[in-house]
A and B are shown apart, each in its own frame.
Chain A
Amino acid sequence: MTRFIIRRLISIPLLLLGIVSIAFLISHNTQGDPLASIVSERQMDNPEVVAAAKARWGLDKSLPEQYVLYLRNLITGDLGTSFRTKQGVGKDILERLPATLELVIAAMILGVGSGIVLGVLAARFRNKPIDHAARLWALTGSSTPVFWSGLILLYIFSVVLGWLPGPGRLDPRSVPPEFMTGFLTIDTLLAGDFAAFGDALHHLILPALVLGWTVMGIVSRLVRGSMLDVLSQDYIVAARARGAGELRVLLNHALRNALVPTLTIIGFTFAYLITGAVLTETIFSWPGIGSYAVEAARNLDYPAIIGVTIVGGTAFLLSNLATDIAYAFADPRIRLS
């Protein structure tokens, strides 16, 4: 076990170095001029700014030296300064992190939860209409462009029906709660402001649904598959023979074991959710990292784009590591292979 974890941990710094190297490569080839990735066009004819940037990132030095400087700057948390916000990219990302996490966690709960329910139903009623409907629903979810379904749902539920609020995290007229966790649903509760809590929750529903729907499909297919494997095993037959109720067999006996291989979906879903969050946040004007990345890309704000890419890659890597370790804990056979 420990050996397995250590082996996986050793690969992490190497992969991180790889991520950073690719980022360096990208920033170095920006528009054919590395300076373009550090200094915005407007500042280009300001010799002071250009000289300062060159000195800080070592652009007048040799390539290996530049690489070392780049690494050193990154390790100290310096991801460069955004052209657009005029702030450090690291600071920008930290400010926006809670919004993205709140959305992704909500979407994960909705997507994984409904995916498991759907997967169990599909396995139990295999090749029956419920199974086919679940498959259709799941495939539709992973086939819908979130930037379109988000617009359509906003139009239906916010404009036509008026049931849910428009884009954003809170009613623009209201005062945001004091910053505690950055999760508005939690902060409003901590402040004891239930009206604001309801408002935050209402704002969260649509984007979380749109985002969650994209992963529900994968989750339900995986759960269905592993449920089918488990349901055909002897101990299930034995449990049924002993007279255990259907619900008890499904949930207590089968699902528990079926969920072990499904642990891998945590890594999968995270990848999907990051991808989806970029576009969902844009549609819902959600002030998270995703919409920050899109704004940066639209304005060719290179330090911000590359910074988000590094942070996203790192987060992705760590979530995969966590999944692997959780999986090894849950299923001893993995460690041996």
Chain B
Amino acid sequence: MMTNLLDVENLWVKFPTRQGVFDAVRGVSFTLGRERLGIVGESGSGKSMTGRAILRLIRPPGIVEADQIELEGVDLMQKSEKDMRAVRGQRISMVMQDPKFSLNPVMTIGDQIMEAYRLHSKASKSEAYAKSLEMLEAVSIRNPERVMRAYPHEMSGGMGQRIMIAMMLIPNPEILIADEPTSALDVSVQRQVLDIMDRLVKERGMGLIFISHDLNLVADFCDRVLIMYAGRIVEVCDADKLHEAQHPYTRGLLNSLPRLDAPRKRLEVLQRDPQWSTAPSVSGRI
């Protein structure tokens, strides 16, 4: 029996609008062990909202409701905003899609990493510097001293994303939430970044929530996959069995991809069944 790092039960994210309350996430339940859990879905399926809601990062007027979001037995929903700040970064980190928007453009990368480190531990400046170098090396950056002095705009997308990962890993979190961490990157760089994440997660025994729209990528990279549609989980399956998925939505998504090895005259178009969005959410709990 795997120990659960995170146990989410009946999570809702609601946005009141003029036309009534819009439910972005509707009754999602899942657990996360020391594994790589993929959440896939199209835009608007609520996959990013789920990631943010775990950290209670939904801005008002959005509302997060859940029976529980337990991090190793402690319910995050009961925590005050101040206690949550200690959780964010320290115990659960998040990597966003585009490193350009996550790094401060007027600070050197070294300063930013060191600041992130010293925010969470009372280390001296030289300790922080040594630790930052070590982390940059851990994400396969060859020339860490030079990168420490550089500004974000001098970095390529792949480098920027590695730096973000380095920053997120410094406080040694138990859980890493990666929201489309590679979709802004070229395919060849994508691989490298994923390999780095994979290695770090394995070495440190972290739990990883990997949010993506790319089914093939998730099938390759994760252990278990939640497929989301219209704010609900429609299917849960093991990643290596994703191509044998049963739900018509998952099948439709897979079939709508053009494939080099199987040329077709026309691509299959996904026929959406309104029932998918009303059917209750499948539980992803173990």
Do A and B come together as binding partners? Answer: no
Question: Which residues of B does A touch, CB under 8 Å?
Answer: none
